[in-house]
Amino acid sequence: MLRTALIALVLAAGCATAPAQADETATVTVQLTGLQPQGSVMMQVFNSAEGYGSGDQLTARQIPITAASASVSFENVPPGQYAIRLFHDVNGNGQLDTNPFGIPTEPFAFSNNARGRFGPASWEDAVFTVTAGANVHQITIPGSN
């Protein structure tokens, strides 16, 4: 029965693009599956727990979606610890839509396919390691509510 006040997920809708910082040691390909073929995915990449917590991103991408899967590559990435959060802007209005109680009505996801319980996934659950050379990271987009 009742679940009042269960979920108030707040994802910052960062969609500005910034160039990847280069030291030419790794590439990261993020593969997205489970998409409805419309709109764009708005993706933010973080390289520290502090940045992840405050929304201070390392870089961000807008990825137009025309099929059930998509991929995006980041070049010249320094090896290290990263986390990704994204949402699927299905209706293309540039933001993560929510219902009047702040619950997202568009799909969202995190690296490692981590899920928050009553909020965004934690840095600890979303962090993954990038090593020198080619890296592939897969994220499945959950169906929208």
Cα 93 to Cα 83: distance, rounded to the nearest angstrom? 25
Establish if 16 lies at the interface with another protein (CB under 8 A): no
Stretch that binds another protein, among 14-22, 33-41, 45-53, 93-101 (CB under 8 A): 93-101
Nearer to another protein, 45 or 114 (CB): 114
User: Site for another protein (CB under 8 A): which residue of 101, 124, 134, 136?
Assistant: 101
Establish if 118 lies at the interface with another protein (CB under 8 A): yes
Nearest C-alpha neighbor of 83 from the set 119, 132, 47: 47
Q: 90 vs 26, 83, 97, 134, CA distance in Å?
A: 31, 22, 9, 30
Cα 31 to Cα 104: distance, rounded to the nearest angstrom? 22
Q: Which residues bind another protein (CB under 8 A)?
A: 1-7, 97, 99-101, 103-105, 107, 113, 115-118, 125, 142-145
